[in-house]
Amino acid sequence: MTTRSHHTGLAVIAVFKVVKGLLLLLLGLGLLKLVHAEIATLFSLLIADSRLIHELVLKVDALQPHSVLLAGFVSLGYATMLLVEGVGLWLELTWAAYLTVVSTSLLLPFELYEVIERVSMLRVGVLLLNLIIVLYLVSQLKRHTLRSRTHLPRHDSVA
């Protein structure tokens, strides 16, 4: 019987993707629920004397139901992809690393644009984190340390 340990980097990325996916799933479900609720009524209890909350209520109330519905579906779709990536990376599957490299790389130009438009520590941090994730996964793919679904780990025996 052999025990298999996770690559620490892959496990960290997998957990990050799953947590992010779960948060987006909650957001998406919340947005879909807002489509059926009276948005202004929902937030009216929170208004009190807060000017900031009042402005937020006005902005949310101004959203068209189809925009909220679309944002909910986009959030659910992206959450699904993140959860698939996270589980696949946890299982150290090659296709999950490729999917994560492609999906994360596609966002890098937009993140760079955001940093150029307005530099902030958060924006720079997100850009660097995603760049590190891509570079790490590419290095793992080059080393062939991940498993494909059709190939089981080899057990070399001395005969």
- The region of weakest confidence among 79-88, 111-120, 148-157 is 148-157
What's the residue count for the chain?
Answer: 159
Mean pLDDT on 79-104: 96
Note whether 10 and 89 are within 8 A (CB): yes
Q: Are 66 and 32 in contact (CB under 8 A)?
A: no
> Over 80: is that where the pLDDT of 22 sits?
yes
Task: Please enumerate in sequence order all residues whose Cβ is within 8 A of that of 83, keeping only pairs 6 or more positions apart, or say none.
Answer: 17, 18, 21, 22, 25
27 touches 85 (CB < 8 A): no
Task: Give pLDDT, residue 127.
Answer: 95
pLDDT band for 156, please (50, 70, 90 cuts): very low
Question: Would you give the end-to-end CA distance of the chain in angstroms?
Answer: 19
* Residues in contact with 114: Cβ distance below 8 Å, sequence separation at least 6, in sequence order: 123, 127
Does residue 1 carry a pLDDT above 90? no
